[in-house]
Amino acid sequence: MAEDLTLASTERRRPPTGTGTGTGSRPRYVYLLLALVPAALVLAVLRFGAEIAGLDGGSGGASGGAAGKAPAASGTFAALLLALPVILLVCHLTAGLFRRMGQPAVIGEIVAGVLLGPSLLGLLWPSGHDLLFPAELSGPVGILAQLGLVCFMFVVGYELDIGEVRGRGQAVLAISHVGVAVPLLAGALLALGMYGSYAPDGLGFTPFGLFIAVAMSITAFPVLARIIAERRPGELRVGGIALSCAAVGDVTAWCLLAVVVATAAGSSPAGVVWILVLTALFCALLHFAVRPLLRRMLNGTRQARGTSVLPVLFSAILLCALATEEIGIHAIFGPFLLGAVTPRGSAPLEWALGRLRSVTETLLLPLFFVFSGMRTSVGLLDGRQAWLWCLAIVVVATAAKWGSTTLAARGCGMGREDSMALGALMNCRGLTELVVLNVGLDLGVITPTVFTMFVIMALVSTVLTAPALTLVRRRYAGT
């Protein structure tokens, strides 16, 4: 029995087969025969194939094609990898700076786009601007910016609470539509004077005048919501009314912009009507078919399966963008309408929306700001006349929006302080104005010079919002 135990322990201590001195050289032979020899044969096959291709005369064409395409694509990708960190860091820094100044972060991001564009960086350091943003980079940046834009428009539509608008009655409808109608009239009158000098060549007055009018009537609902959220509770009594008015006004403005897009496409009156009919059918499809499907899917999705909502949501956003693009009213309208009909209150949807919003606001929207900044060149305002027109746009836009909203609110029975505060809030244009302006520039309805003038107007009117609210509160603090 002791011998058996001794034998067993000896066998346990014995080295495994193949690790002794007699078999230690086997792995070397295996490596040599099965790794090094095939690698050497690969090199030989490649050399032999290259010689055959050279004899056939195919080497020059093939290598020339590869040499002509690969470096260009590689250079564009490398330029994008260099530009993205600069864009994100500059947007982050300027957003933080403006937040400390009491302004919404989006203003800093818009300013970052202007600073990185030809207005400042291109003017002070042309070689650095060309290094960071070469001409071939505009295509990829533009595509990513448009992708961010359609995702952002879904968020805008989702944040519009139509139920809250219904609950505030006729006063909201009256105030919001007065705040749209008067700036529309002011913009149309302003377009009469601008048309001869600043309209694109060959463009009729109708699309130009319509677009200037719509651009004057915009209120930035997302930026407005953030300004109100950053105020202390109880400090702003008209916050809910302002959000309701902005929601109604934005829906009205987007409908008018759809008419502008259809008109600018050169469609006949019957063609414009047909586009509007297709748009109405698309809205009905979303409300009566897509909305119930989304509600059924969300109700049947557990919170643990929230990850399955995100790809479905993103696919729906892209398909709706494609649908409205094919209809002829622009890709931004589809996601906006989808967001407006999407059911609220689902935990999986909120989880997916949080991920979508984080990617959009952190990465894609800064690209949109810089893309807009690339198209903004203050140097185009090269004379006294251009600067006077820019000043006129700022003054007319502010007076028309703020004044008309204040008067309408007073007419509906609101007090002076609340009416003035509501007018200041509705004058906020921000990011929504940039979206509209980019649509107009892409359609060829406005020139880069007019685009720059309205970008300046959007910045000034939005920057004025927070200080104007403070001044109104102080003015009526003792009354």
Residue for token pair 């949501």: 313
SS3 120: coil
Per-residue pLDDT at 209: 93
Summarised one tens digit per residue, pLDDT across range 328-364 is: 877 888 898 899 899 987 888 888 888 898 888 888 8
Closest CA to 223 of 5, 8, 434, 455: 434
Per-residue pLDDT at 304: 47
Q: What is d(CA 252, CA 181) in angstroms, rounded to the nearest whole number?
A: 10
Q: What is d(CA 217, CA 233) in angstroms, rounded to the nearest whole number?
A: 29
Closest CA to 400 of 223, 184, 221: 184
Instruction: Please give the domain boundaries of the chain with CATH numbers for all domains.
Output: 101-126+150-475 (1.20.1530.20)
Beta carbons of 421 and 472 less than 8 angstroms apart: yes
For the record, the structure tokens of 119 come out as 């207005």
Distances (CA, A) of 149 to 145, 252, 270, 439: 6, 19, 30, 11
Per-residue pLDDT at 60: 46
Summarised one tens digit per residue, pLDDT across range 130-157 is: 888 888 888 888 888 889 888 988 988 8
Residue 285 sits at the vertex; the CA angle it makes with 283 and 291, to the nearest 5 degrees, is 95
Q: Which residues of the chain have pLDDT under 50?
A: 1-3, 5-8, 11-12, 18-22, 58-70, 304
Exposure string (b/e) for 372-397, b if CB count within 10 Å is 16 or more?
Answer: bbbbbbbebbeeeebeebbeebbebb
Per-residue pLDDT at 59: 45
Per-residue pLDDT at 90: 92
Per-residue pLDDT at 62: 45
Q: What is d(CA 303, CA 350) in angstroms, rounded to the nearest whole number?
A: 10
Question: Angle 205-216/239-264 helices, nearest 10 degrees?
Answer: 170
Beta carbons of 339 and 98 less than 8 angstroms apart: no
Per-residue pLDDT at 123: 85
Residue 5's identity, in one-letter code, is: L
For the record, the structure tokens of 41 come out as 């044969």
Tell me what percent of the chain is helix, strand and coil, each rounded to the nearest 5: 80, 0, 20
Beta carbons of 195 and 373 less than 8 angstroms apart: no
Beta carbons of 245 and 426 less than 8 angstroms apart: yes
Distances (CA, A) of 87 to 82, 124, 404: 9, 18, 38
Per-residue pLDDT at 66: 44
Per-residue pLDDT at 68: 46
DSSP state of 15: P
Residue for token pair 């302006």: 437
Count Cα atoms within 13 angstroms, Cβ side, for 248.
24
Residue 344's identity, in one-letter code, is: R
